Structure 1
Amino acid sequence: MQIFATFEHSTNIELAISELEQKGIDDLFAVPLDNRTEERNLFDTIHRSDGVSLSQTGLFLAVIFSTIGASRGFVLDWGPIYWGLIGAFSGFVLGFLFDLFVQKSVKKKQRVHRGKASEVILIVDCEECQKEQVEKLLWNNLALGVAKVNG
């Protein structure tokens, strides 16, 4: 039976490995995962999207600014249609620039901090009778996830 577990790159995985070796399980394989080196694309393509929308705030502000512009346009020179379009355009640009700033500065810092601790995958080959004991040991050493495969 094979048991797969993921750990943060910390001393917890070292403790888990040493405890497994003390229990007589020597068939272990640990694989560290590499961190992402290239920067994520900020703009989505037609084939791939990361779920981050840069136009959502822009569209929201476009509706608000166009409504205000159209209502104020009744008393201004160019009329409500022009001022509504000017308000929609300026609201969209303002919202788009705000989302772009937030994604480039604030979210980038969060991604960098989150990506520092890469994970390690630990593969344990054990007997069927040791399955419960190994799984409990892995969970006690703060495994992020555990999976069992009969093989």
Structure 2
Amino acid sequence: MQIFATFEHSIFIEMAISQLEENGVQDIFAVPLDNRLEERKLFDTIHRSDGVSLTQTGLFLAVAFSTIGASKGFVLDWGPIYWGLIGAVFGCVLGFLFDLVVQRKRIKKEKSLKGKASEVILIINCEESQKKQVEKLLWDNLALGVAKVSDYDETV
């Protein structure tokens, strides 16, 4: 049976490994994870998209401001077509800038969240009879997540 556990890089993973060795589990493999160093990209490319659109608010405001501009353009000098286009451009730019500021704040907020990130994966091979004991030991040493994979032989 294989048991996978994720931990923060702390003294608790060292304690878990030493307790596992004391309990007779010898096949333990720890893998440190590399954290992302580069910033998340704000603009999408043709090959990658995060599902966030920076144009939706801009297009909505373009329609609203072009309608207002066109209706007010009947009494203004340049006429409804020019004022409708001016309103559309102004609304589109305003909405794009609004979405840009909101997304940047969201990315900063996600970066500064105090949530715990997995930094080390612990892979343990043990007997089926040791499963409960190993799992309890991992949870007691503050594992962030634990998964079990049973070894089974397919006899055909």
Query: Shared fold by TM > 0.5?
Result: yes
Which shows bigger deviation, 29-38 or 8-17?
8-17
Matches within 5 A, 1:2-151: 2-104=2-104, 106-113=105-112, 117=117, 119-151=119-151
C-alpha RMSD of the superposition = 2.5
Percent sequence identity over aligned pairs: 77
Could you tell me how far apart the structure 2 residues matched to 1:101 and 1:85 are? 24
Look up the equivalent residue of 2:128 and give its one-letter code. Answer: E
Distance 1:141 1:62 in 2: 55
Matches of 2:81 and 2:143, distance apart in 1: 61
Structure 1, gaps ≥5 residues long: none
Match for 2:66: what amino acid? S
Which structure 2 segments of 5+ residues have no match?
A: 152-156
- Structure 1 position 111, deviation (Å): 4.5
Q: Which amino acid in the other structure matches residue 121 of structure 2?
A: I
Tell me how far apart the structure 1 counterparts of residues 95 and 10 of structure 2 sit (CA, whole Å): 41
Between 1:25-34 and 1:121-130, the stretch displaced more is 25-34
- CA distance 1:83–1:11, change in 2 (3 Å): farther
Question: Would you say how many aligned residue pairs link Structure 1 and Structure 2?
Answer: 150
Higher-Rg structure is 2
Q: 4+ residue stretches of structure 1 with deviation over 4 A? A: 114-118
CA contact (8 A) 1:32 1:118 kept: no
TM norm structure 1: 0.81
Give the whole-Å Cα distance in 2 for the aligned partners of 1:12 and 1:79: 72
